[in-house]
Amino acid sequence: MAAGWTRRGFVALVGAALIAPAAAQDYPTRPVRIVVPFAPGGSADVYGRFIAQRLQEALGQGFVIDNRPGGGSLIGTDAVAKSAPDGYTLLLMSNTHTVNESLIPDRPFQLMRDFAPIAPINASDLVLVVKAGLPANTLGDLIKVAKVKPGGMSYASSGPGTPYHMAGELFKAQAGIDIVHIPYKGSAGARTDVLGGQLEMMFDAIPTMTEHIKSGKVRALATTGKTRSATLPDVPTLAEAGVPGYEATIWLGLMAPKGTPAAVIRRLNAEVSKITTNPEVRRAWALQGTTPMTMGVDEFTRYLGEDIAKWAQIVKISGAKVD
């Protein structure tokens, strides 16, 4: 009797092992929803739509973007955490999520507990811009003005915990200045008010802000990478311009609800990796100041853990808080 049970158990295990690859091979059999927990118009939305289109072409099913902004990404992210772990609801995430692990301790989910990492997409440096009429032509000028009038200037961001917010907090901490954070529900609203002169400055993704810099609607003072941006080669880095050691980027990736079949995760990782290693894509993104990221599932999992730890230190040092 025990031997019979063992044989049946063995057959069941073998059957499950055979079904999983078959399920991944057939996946997807219906449209897939990618939740972008940010407002339309920002880099997460733009590159999310790019990836969705490429996945649709490769896999023969619709990949539909569902923008769910609000709460510094919490609303859309929580919706994905509560979705069925079947591969048909995915999360377009960014380092907003790794920041929020320490910045917002009472959020309704934990990133590494409730989600399965799939793959990174790309990374972009940010650019610090000021409104056209501000009497600051260099980063040094801006720092001097800020020190003369503590709390007298404001910077816009796309919401609490976003890379735009944390870039500002890191700048405040390392430059020793006091500027007021004004969070918006998305980067589009923040950008509009800086372009219109209602607020003094913001950190924004280089691909999104470059056209406004070139048209003279805003003035670029510095970029946030280790080296100058190929898109804005005449603009110094913050480290060059007077804030030694400064570095901040925005990166994007995909995750799924925890429990999503491993074979489906691997299939998606392979397809996203094909996109990010495509020479045509790499050339196009380079012109936009964006660097493709390609990692296996395990490597991306380690990367997320390291980024969570890094931002926990920055949140502590900067004293950043969510009101």
Answer yes or no: do 88 and 161 share one domain.
Answer: no
pLDDT for 25 beyond 80: no
DSSP state of 237: B
> Omega into 261 within 30° of 0, i.e. cis?
no
Q: Which of 241, 274, 295 is the last residue of a domain?
A: 241
pLDDT band per the 50, 70, 90 thresholds, residue 4: very low
Answer yes or no: do 117 and 139 share one domain.
Answer: no
CATH number for position 222: 3.40.190.10
Q: What is the mean pLDDT of residues 226-231?
A: 92
Answer yes or no: do 130 and 118 share one domain.
Answer: no
Whether residue 272 contacts residue 121, with contact meaning beta carbons closer than 8 Å, is answered with yes
pLDDT for 51 beyond 70: yes
In DSSP terms, which residues pair with 126 in a beta bridge? 205
| pLDDT tens, position by position, 246-272 | 999 999 999 999 999 999 999 999 999
Does 193 fall in a domain? yes
Answer yes or no: do 255 and 234 share one domain.
Answer: no
Does 183 fall in a domain? yes
Does 1 fall in a domain? no
Helix, strand or coil, per DSSP, at residue 128: strand
Alpha-carbon span 204 to 288, nearest angstrom: 13
Task: Tokens for 242, please give them.
Answer: 């007077």
Structural domain including 152 reads 125-241
Cβ-based neighbours of 295, under 8 Å, separated by 6 or more: 119, 120, 303
Answer yes or no: do 137 and 231 share one domain.
Answer: yes
319 or 292: which leads in pLDDT: 292
Alpha-carbon span 297 to 282, nearest angstrom: 21
Give the CA-trace dihedral at 130, 214, 67, 26, to 10 degrees. Answer: -140
H-only helix segments in the chain: 2-26, 43-59, 74-81, 95-103, 111-114, 139-148, 163-175, 187-195, 206-214, 238-241, 262-276, 279-287, 297-318
Whether residue 89 contacts residue 29, with contact meaning beta carbons closer than 8 Å, is answered with no
Helix, strand or coil, per DSSP, at residue 220: strand
Does 46 fall in a domain? yes
Mean pLDDT of the chain: 91
Q: What angle do CA 234, 235, 240 make, to 5 degrees?
A: 115
Alpha-carbon span 158 to 191, nearest angstrom: 9
Q: Which of 241, 275, 291 is the last residue of a domain?
A: 241
Q: How many angstroms separate the most distant Cα atoms in the chain?
A: 87
Count of domains observed in the chain? 2
| pLDDT tens, position by position, 176-221 | 999 999 999 888 899 999 999 999 999 998 988 999 999 999 999 9
Q: What is the mean pLDDT of residues 283-306?
A: 95
Q: Given the DSSP bridges, would you call strands 32-36 and 115-131 parallel, antiparallel or unpaired? A: unpaired
Task: Provide the b/e sequence for 155-185 (b: ≥16 CB within 10 Å).
Answer: bbbbbbbbbbbbbbbbbbbbbebebebbbbe
Q: Which of 241, 266, 290 is the last residue of a domain?
A: 241
Does 19 fall in a domain? no
Supply the Cα-derived Rg of the chain in whole angstroms: 22
